Amino acid sequence: MAEQLWRREALAPYASLPWQSRGRLHAEPEASRSPFQRDRDRIIHSTAFRRLKHKTQVFVYHEGDHYRTRLTHSLEVAQIARSICRTLHLDEDLGEAVALAHDLGHTPFGHAGEEALHAAMKPFGGFDHNAQTLRILTKLEERYAEFNGLNLTWETLEGAVKHNGPLLKDGRTLDDLPAAIVEYCSDHDLELYGHAGPEAQIAALSDDIAYNNHDIDDGLRAGLFGIADLKGLPLVGEMFTLVEGRYPGLDDTRLIHEAVRRVINAMVEDVLAETRRRLAEAKPSTVADIRALGRPVAAFSESMAETDRTVKKFLYGRMYEHWHLNRSHSKARRVVMDLFGLLFAEPNCLPPPWRERAEAAERPARARIVADYIAGMTDRYALDEHRRLFDLYN
């Protein structure tokens, strides 16, 4: 297929060029869509992606219809990643694919659910949502006749695993990594010692931009803090003050939206400026040059990185550790621990085909099967399953 049919605009030579993809573990015929477009489409059509609709970002699904979920968060990340990649002449389809896939491995109930499942799995290798994402993409999705998983390209899988940076760094060895990642890389080496390509790096920054800003929006909506509490924050407070000065008397709903969108724009512009600066300094000729730099080419400036840390610290103290959310998270941890304990001890309570697999497995493998089953649950399904298994009158 002629390469000009695979792109909507010219790509930089150091972009992840789709016609130079390292391919898939299982070879497939080419198509009219580029390899990275096909990856994106397979992710969107996957069962795991649909489940994100009812998986917690911060608030459990029943607490309100307008709070972000893992699905809406992933869509916001993908939109930001596409915009940045397009402006920098990177492959926006690959950036979008990594953004859409990055949260697939999360448990129900957000980080509280993951903490509980990791604790339950501690004797059996623990639980890590990035490793679970790789398991979903390469094994747990059962849709195709010739292979398990989605058979995505090397570049998309690399981005899913390494979007936050190299895994083998700071003295870490393969023994320190989740088994799922090590096992997959023995067949399809994702080069865990290096940085991912620029599109995956952009997806990681887009994740930061999206969740900081939508958590500000959701936190205000939930009444966990007020607009006045944000005035002392760098950038965020400045934008609220700017909008109030420009539009006196503006109602809070419009004020919040106007301020938040300006914060997002400022962070995006900062990423563009800093990434261009680093590209000009490094002068990469190929994507391999970017991987070999030893540091990210896509980044916030030092001042914006400090702003990002300050906002995160505020949100942690005023939102993620709020007593209201702590109550919800406490319940979520108990639900996950209860489910794991019962289903591991009594695998005959699992539905088919999970039951057959678990009953035939030794203890470590059975634990991983139970963890796969629980991690795939939505918040709603986990609560319903808990009622079915523990409510004597259900």
Task: Tell me the mean pLDDT in the region 268-281.
Answer: 98
Spatial distance between the Cα atoms of 6 and 34, rounded to a whole number of angstroms: 5
pTM for the structure as a whole: 0.94
Spatial distance between the Cα atoms of 267 and 271, rounded to a whole number of angstroms: 6
Would you state the pLDDT for residue 62?
47
Would you state the pLDDT for residue 9?
60
Spatial distance between the Cα atoms of 9 and 16, rounded to a whole number of angstroms: 14
Would you state the pLDDT for residue 63?
54
pLDDT confidence tier of residue 118, bands split at 50, 70 and 90? very high
Spatial distance between the Cα atoms of 53 and 20, rounded to a whole number of angstroms: 34
Is residue 390 over pLDDT 60?
A: yes
Q: Which of 52-66, 110-124, 275-289, 333-347 has the lowest mean pLDDT?
A: 52-66
Would you state the pLDDT for residue 1?
46
Cβ-based neighbours of 354, under 8 Å, separated by 6 or more: 347, 369, 373
Q: Are 36 and 81 in contact (CB under 8 A)?
A: no
> What's the helix, strand, coil split of the chain in %, to 5?
65, 0, 35
Is residue 201 over pLDDT 50?
A: yes
Cβ-based neighbours of 16, under 8 Å, separated by 6 or more: 36, 90, 91, 94, 155, 197, 198, 199, 287
Q: Are 258 and 243 in contact (CB under 8 A)?
A: yes
Spatial distance between the Cα atoms of 248 and 231, rounded to a whole number of angstroms: 16
Would you state the pLDDT for residue 56?
79
Task: Tell me the mean pLDDT in the region 102-123.
Answer: 95
